[in-house]
Structure 1
Amino acid sequence: MGSPESLLDVLRSYSAVDCDTFDIEGERQLGPFVDCTSNQAIAYHELIRLNEDGKPLHAELIEDAVDYASAKRSSYPDVAVAELAVETMMVKLALRIVPYLKGYSHIQTNPKYSYNKQKTIENAKRIVAIFKDLDPAYDAQRVCIKIPSTWEGLQACRELENQGISTLATTMFCLEQAALAAHVGCTYIAPYINELRVHFDENYVDQHKAFDFCGSAQRYYEKIGSKTQVLPASLTSIQEVMKLAGAHHITVAPHLLTKLAETPANPWKGETGSVFKGKAEEEAVDYSDIVEDESAWRLAFTRSQEGKGEVKIIQAINIFCEKQDGLEGLTRR
């Protein structure tokens, strides 16, 4: 007789479930997963972990990444060794998790390039090259590059997708961003259900969670026949996760995955899939007049939700830049 069905089992019957972590233990225990998502914050907090003896858990990985970056200095003369070492550390962490995945490894570009199309493109190509260099047997088609959903970032996504590199438009908060992401051909978008601040300020609660946006984006993509898939992120409870059952993909942090696996599906009195139910007749908006017009798109984005989306992405980029600084600091120490 099999074990009772858990909420994680139920979620997997509705959506492709991804892990939002660089901690390999969760994947071992609860995998395999489809994709593994990450960012500078996840990388930083994984790399500063200590082992049972109180020593850095990943000291050898960090040292190896710095050695690799130093050796590659001539290949990337315009990139600081610390920055290249950060990219290498993230790829090394991702490669440890590959055996527990069916799909993509997601690595985020340097958030300091959020408003620079060309540097974002170069950064993405460098990340793919590092994957190939560190593990020649790894299929580079399984790398997905996460890029903040600014105008410049989404134009970079267009060029990368045209060159065969999969992209995910991250830090997304409104339909103006989602429409542009589909137009440029992103493989995924990541609607942030909670603004990023909630994960770093325990007293802060997002009063405008993006459930409605997430549901509208998925219905919009299905109506226009877009290949882009919705992958909600930034979740704080299993109740939030289960409301999103039915998303194309969903990425979940280890502590929530554990709770889902430990919670029996029967009885479950919370909502399941409510975000995607009952709104099929909502009015379709036509974004064709702004997706090729930078000025019009920027203005529409600025005015969306009375500016809340723009405020949230600025906040997220700032937090990720702080974590990028922290990662570069690790390499220098």
Structure 2
Amino acid sequence: MSKLEQLKTMTTVVADTGDLDAIAQWRPVDATTNPSLLLKAADLPAYRPMLDMAIDYAQRQGGSDREQLGQATDYLAVLAGQKILDLIPGVVSTEVDARLSFDTQATIDKARRLVALYDSIGVPTERVLIKIASTWEGIRAAEVLEKEGIHCNLTLLFSFAQAAACAEAGAFLISPFVGRILDWHLKASGKSAFEAPEDPGVLSVTRIYNYFKAHNYDTVVMGASFRNTGEIEQLAGCDRLTISPALLESLQDDPGELPRILSPQSVDKVDDRVSLDENDFRWLMNEDAMATEKLAEGIRKFAADQVELEQRVRQIAQAA
């Protein structure tokens, strides 16, 4: 078997793309999107009918230009999610506008709206994960939503503090980033590379995975943001891994042996269970320069791509 086929025997593989052709090719169990991926996908021919439908929907809803842009991009994300779900057996993650990352109530309201839109086109709530940035406010929003039966994917997660807070809040799933952590440490250390077992992103996810399993948290750990297949191989056995098409192809083309690294039965070096209040959380984030910088950078990038996506929608609407 290829390494990809071996990986699928121990980990749920998720496609990190909005490209419908790529999803159809790789047939992952789940798929995840974000504003950056939707922005790239918007240039693909398969998305043009969805863009037209989203614009028409927003115009029929009425409201200000800003409100209509929000309506259109929400509906586009939901239509894309529906198309993706036609190709996979599992769930799709749809992201809340990153500009709401520090507003708990607005995040809750947007999540409810996205779920209602999915429901309006016949997609059941249990097939959708609402993707929320792992700020203190986002984690609190997820705590409320989970109690309502709306499952959440806490993203832009770079630190143990974020992970611990998400688990205590009862989040369904977290997406701890690997590659972006590596990026920061390469720049900070001046190194050109880390060996895969010592990759700082790999070590971070391993620590989180072991902590969750040792303390019997139900929260799913889904490693994300990979730079190379070595990182993926070092996390073989993680609950889920979300992987780009390029790295899926590399794993598919590799016939080598893939040993299982992570397992609930082989947990060691476990942190004591912690319960963080807001002051604890903010202090630990303040002490972690990498997590603070990468979280802020990630929110800015997703927000910028959301704005660019709205501009793309506006241009198409004006040209119609």
TM-score by length of 1: 0.85
- Does the CA-based 8 Å contact 2:3-2:251 persist in structure 1? yes
Q: Percent identity?
A: 26
Deviations 1:191-220 (CA, angstroms, capped at 9, x unpaired): 10011896xxxxx97977311110111111
What do you get for the CA RMSD once the two structures are aligned? 2.4
Is it true that 1:316 corresponds to 2:315 in the alignment? no
Which structure 1 segments of 5+ residues have no match?
Answer: 52-56, 199-203
Equivalent position of 1:129 in the other structure: 116
Q: C-alpha distance in 1, partners of 2:265/2:50?
A: 49
Equivalent position of 1:22 in the other structure: 18
Equivalent position of 2:226 in the other structure: 235
- Does the CA-based 8 Å contact 2:213-2:264 persist in structure 1? no
Equivalent position of 2:41 in the other structure: 46
How far apart are 1:169 and its partner, in Å? 0.8
How far apart are 1:249 and its partner, in Å? 0.6
- Does the CA-based 8 Å contact 2:209-2:221 persist in structure 1? yes
Give the count of matched residue pairs.
Answer: 304
How far apart are 1:79 and its partner, in Å? 6.7
Is it true that 1:7 corresponds to 2:9 in the alignment? no
How far apart are 1:281 and its partner, in Å? 3.1
Q: C-alpha distance in 1, partners of 2:147/2:234?
A: 34
Is it true that 1:151 corresponds to 2:146 in the alignment? no
**SS of match in other structure, 1:210:** helix
- Does the CA-based 8 Å contact 2:207-2:270 persist in structure 1? no
Equivalent position of 1:162 in the other structure: 147
Amino acid at match of 1:309: A
Moved more, 20-29 or 117-126: 20-29
How far apart are 1:70 and its partner, in Å? 2.0
- Which of 172, 180, 185 is matched with 2:170 structurally? 185
Residues 187 and 206 of structure 1: CA distance in aligned 2, closer, same or farther (over 3 Å): farther
Q: C-alpha distance in 2, partners of 1:103/1:244?
A: 21
Normalized per residue, which structure has more helix? Answer: 2
How far apart are 1:262 and its partner, in Å? 2.2
Q: C-alpha distance in 1, partners of 2:310/2:299?
A: 16
Which structure 2 segments of 5+ residues have no match?
Answer: 184-190, 316-320
Is it true that 1:99 corresponds to 2:99 in the alignment? no
Moved more, 151-160 or 59-68: 59-68
Q: C-alpha distance in 1, partners of 2:166/2:230?
A: 28
Q: C-alpha distance in 1, partners of 2:127/2:31?
A: 11
Deviations 1:140-166 (CA, angstroms, capped at 9, x unpaired): 221100100000000000000011000
How far apart are 1:14 and its partner, in Å? 1.4
**SS of match in other structure, 1:287:** coil
Moved more, 172-181 or 90-99: 90-99
- Does the CA-based 8 Å contact 2:181-2:201 persist in structure 1? no
Residues 281 and 240 of structure 1: CA distance in aligned 2, closer, same or farther (over 3 Å): closer
Q: C-alpha distance in 2, partners of 1:90/1:17?
A: 21
Residues 311 and 205 of structure 1: CA distance in aligned 2, closer, same or farther (over 3 Å): farther
Amino acid at match of 2:283: L
Deviations 1:61-92 (CA, angstroms, capped at 9, x unpaired): 21210111222246xx8971111211111111
